[in-house]
Amino acid sequence: MKIIRSISSMKKCIKNERKKGPKIGFVPTMGYLHQGHISLAQQSVKECDVTVMSVYVNPTQFGLHEDYKKYPRDIKSDAALAKEAGVDYLFVPSDSDMYPLGFSSKVIVSNVTQMLCGASRPGHFDGVTTIVSKLFNIIEPNTVFFGQKDAQQIIVIKKMVKDLNIQLKIKALPIVRDSDGLAMSSRNAYLSKAQRLEALSLYQALQKAKELIGQGECNSAKIIASMKRLILRGKSVRIDYIAIVDAEDLSFKKHIKAKVLIAIAVFIGKVRLIDNLIIKV
């Protein structure tokens, strides 16, 4: 595995690879890799001839008072895990290369960026779509692998790819969880033992919703109320949102029908965690 630290060398490597005509798979990440990220890399290695993984904590997708500065970073461990997963190129660009002095462009997707995490984190998705566009232009992948953990992100990026006629396939892979159900996240590293226990309520609330829907409940407000009760048992918990939306366009659903996305964002202390479940009725 080669570690590449500049856009120009990344482009050179990809140009050379392209001459051989391979299928290039790409896994964008912010690093501090865990099994959720690795599942994406492994799928890319399985499906593609060359796999590029990026590790870049993108400043423009963090709000002013968010955790950009203290976001966990460990490039040594990331490199070891990526290598073991079979990644060919680990792209670790610098801020000055990604956002040189005078950088003044933005890629903005409207509508599907306005609700859920977009409402709580203004400007977040502008940062995501801008950096992802840059990475797509640098790597020119055939297939890009994303985790269902960031369900809204996938919908936003699919929309961008469709609207801007970007030539690539997007694959969404299932959420990888710890054995007790907690969705793996780089931010879990911030949790104390007690907070980690409270964080389990996200998964438990999603399971509760699934159980209620299985029993025939289709009133979203009732399901959300029951999920709230369960989550608010935790002392250090503050709910950002719990929403039941259409799994394709994210419009709010008063009644459960067809395919819905149940999405949660919760603060455990200062740590913001997200989780979700798609249910087909």
- Residue at shortest CB range from ligand AMP: 147
Helix (H/G/I), strand (E/B), else coil: 218: coil
- In Å, the largest CA–CA distance within the chain is 58
Q: Smallest Cα–Cα separation from 279: which of 240, 227, 244?
A: 244
Helices (H), the chain: 7-19, 35-47, 75-85, 95-98, 117-120, 124-139, 151-163, 193-214, 220-231
Among residues 37, 65, 124, 255, which one is catalytic?
37
> What is residue 175's DSSP assignment?
P
Q: Could you tell me the smallest distance in angstroms from the CB atom of residue 179 to ligand AMP?
A: 13
Between 56 and 209, name the residue whose CB sits nearer to ligand AMP: 56
Between 159 and 232, name the residue whose CB sits nearer to ligand AMP: 159
Q: Could you tell me the smallest distance in angstroms from the CB atom of residue 177 to ligand AMP?
A: 7
Q: Could you tell me the smallest distance in angstroms from the CB atom of residue 176 to ligand AMP?
A: 4
Place of tokens 């070891």: 80
Residue 249 CB burial class (10 angstroms; 0-12, 13-18, ≥19): exposed
Between 37 and 253, name the residue whose CB sits nearer to ligand AMP: 37
Between 14 and 71, name the residue whose CB sits nearer to ligand AMP: 71
Tell me how far apart the alpha carbons of residues 96 and 6 are, in angstroms, rounded to a whole number. 10
The contacts of residue 233 (CB under 8 Å, 6+ apart) are 201
Q: Could you tell me the smallest distance in angstroms from the CB atom of residue 136 to ligand AMP?
A: 14
- Residues found near ligand AMP in the complex (CB under 6 A): 29-30, 36-37, 39-40, 146-147, 149-150, 175-176, 183-186
**Quick check: is 65 catalytic?**
no
Between 39 and 133, name the residue whose CB sits nearer to ligand AMP: 39
Place of tokens 């992948």: 141
Distances from the Cα of 93 to the Cα of 138, 141, 156, angstroms:
11, 17, 24
C-beta of residue 263 within 8 angstroms of C-beta of residue 236: no
Q: Could you tell me the smallest distance in angstroms from the CB atom of residue 249 to ligand AMP?
A: 19
Which residue numbers are catalytic? 37
